[in-house]
Structure 1
């Protein structure tokens, strides 16, 4: 994780340098300052910086993996990677609610009255999936 954090932070620095260069370059052109591209690059910088910070922060709290060892083999990273839910219907509810919400942008905002409850039910069910029923932890 340490290496991944360094990669993302380095990529964030590169994108910031490109955003500054792009902003200066377009402000000196004949068409004037181009705000959309500069804004997109600044937002991409922010996203890479957040991911890089998260990975660097998390790397301090977990054991170093095979990706941090330059002499590691591919087989050194084999084994259990974590716990993943074997089955869940909640992502389907979120997908249907999200599709309805995006259709609401196209057809009319009234469609959000039907999409938001579906999204909230799916999100609530997904968050509390392992706190009720047969999957409840003792």
Structure 2
């Protein structure tokens, strides 16, 4: 994870340089703002990965002597099937349609998004954690 953090920090330096060059040459505010926002996102991800790399064990990708097989094994738990992303996608689509068509559509999108978020957060609260 250390190397990914360094990659994002170097990418942020490049994006910052390109944002300054683009802003000076083009004098176009939308693209310049987008590049500065991309710089901010790269910095946030880079510092997060660097901070997290200090708290977790060294992975095989950080060891120069490691083989590909050293990183084999279980990566984590992934839900085999879930309907919640579909609910969030439908709610998000209606919300963005509300920006284009009319703000009144947000009254229909908000409950769908909230149901999707609630369902996704509490998807695996079953069994002993369930209230009677």
- TM-score normalized by structure 1? 0.86
Query: Within 2, Cα distance between the matches of 1:84 and 1:61?
Result: 23
Q: Which residue pairs with 1:25 in the alignment? A: 25
Structure 2 runs not aligned, ≥5 long: none
- 1:56-106 alpha-carbon deviations (Å, 9 max, x no partner): 011011111111012221111110111222222111111111111122122
Query: Within 1, Cα distance between the matches of 2:36 and 2:89?
Result: 29
Q: Which residue pairs with 1:30 in the alignment? A: none
Q: Which residue pairs with 1:130 in the alignment? A: 124
Give the alignment's Cα RMSD to 1 decimal.
Answer: 1.7
Say which SS state the counterpart of residue 79 (structure 2) adopts: coil
- 1:40-69 alpha-carbon deviations (Å, 9 max, x no partner): 110110011111011001101111111101
Correspondence 1:40 to 2:34: yes
Query: Within 2, Cα distance between the matches of 1:101 and 1:10?
Result: 36
Does 72-81 or 83-92 show the bigger shift? 83-92
* CA-CA distance at 1:135 after TM superposition: 8.5
Runs of 4+ aligned residues of structure 1 deviating over 6 Å after TM superposition are none
Query: CA, structure 1 residues 135+36, in 2 after alignment: closer, same or farther (shift >3 Å)?
Result: farther
Q: Which residue pairs with 2:86 in the alignment? A: 92
* CA-CA distance at 1:121 after TM superposition: 1.0
Task: Please tell me whether the aligned partners of residues 130 and 136 of structure 1 are also in contact (alpha carbons under 8 angstroms).
Answer: no
Say which SS state the counterpart of residue 34 (structure 2) adopts: helix
Correspondence 1:59 to 2:53: yes
